[in-house]
Homo-oligomer: A and B are copies of this chain.
C-alpha cells in the first residue's frame, strides 16, 4: 500500500492533494494507495474534508524503512518524517523551491512546477483522466487552489491556477467567493487553539546566517481575533522557540482581505530580521507589512539578518 502524504502541520493543499493523488493511483493507475496525514490538519482543511465528503485521513505515526511513499506539497526533509530517505520514494509532486536533502535509490517521477498549488500540478498530470474524477476529488482540488492562492489574491497565483479553479467551479456549479469565504472563516476560527498551537500551526524552519528561524504564518479574515491575543503570543514565544530548537519565531498574521501582514516583534533578533528583510519600523511590539501575503514569494526570498 503506497502512502501519499504532504508536510507536517497539514494545510488544505497538504491534506487534499494526498487524497487526490491516492484516488489517481487507485483508480487510474490501479495501484493501491492511501492518503495519510503527518499530524492534525488545520481548521480550513477540516472544513474542506467535511464539505467534500471525505473522512479525515489517518495520521501516520511511524514510517518503516522501505515503505512505498509518494511525497506531495514539499521536497524538504525537515518537513517530513525522520528516515524519509530510508523509505521507498516513488514520486514527488511539489511547488516549492528545491531545498536539497531528499535522495532516491533509483530514478523516480519528480514533478515540481512554479504554480501556486500542488493540486493544480496534479490536474495537469492527470490530464484527460480528470473526466473520471468524482465530484469530491474535483471539489477538493478547487478548495486546495482557493486555499493556496487565497482566492487568487496571493502573488503566487498563476494564470494556470486561476483557469483550473474556474473550470472546476463552473463544472461543479460552485460559487467561488462563497466557498472561499466559508473556507477562510473556518481557517480564521482559531479560538480553540493555545498560543503554542497558533505559533506552530503553519510554521516552516529556515536557516539564515547561522540562525534557525521558525517562519510562522496565520492567514485569516479575522485578524482581530488573533491580535487580541498579542500579549499572550509575545509572552509564549521564548518558551515555544526554545522547545522548538529555533533561535526566533517570526509570526506573520496575514489579513487575507486587507492583503497585509502583521509581524510580531518579540525580541531583538526578530526586530533585526524585520528591519533587514522588510525595512520595517521595529520600535513597537508588532509592525504592519502592507501587501505581504506569501511566505514563499515575499518572505523567504528577502529574509536577511
Contacts and interface: CB of A to CB of B under 8 A. Distances in A.
Contact of A102 (B92, B98, B114): B98
Interface stretch (A105-113, A196-204, A246-254): A105-113
Contacts of A112: 107-111
Contact of A97 (B103, B111, B115): B103
A114 B103 contact: no
A8 to B, nearest CB: 19
A267 to B, nearest CB: 28
Interface in A70-108: 89, 92, 94-108
Contacts of A111: 110-112
Contact of A100 (B101, B105, B115, B297): B101
Which DSSP category, helix, strand, loop or mixed, fits chain A's interface? loop
Interface of A: 89, 92, 94-115, 296-297, 301
Nearest to A101: B100
A109 B114 contact: yes
A299 to B, nearest CB: 12
A113 B103 contact: no
A96 to B, nearest CB: 6
A208 to B, nearest CB: 13
A103 B99 CA distance: 5
A100 B97 contact: no
B109 A98 contact: no
A97 B105 contact: yes
28 contacts: A92-B98, A94-B107, A95-B107, A97-B104, A97-B105, A97-B106, A98-B102, A98-B104, A98-B108, A99-B103, A100-B100, A100-B101, A100-B102, A100-B103, A106-B114, A106-B296, A106-B297, A106-B301, A107-B112, A107-B113, A107-B114, A107-B296, A108-B114, A109-B112, A110-B110, A110-B112, A110-B113, A111-B112
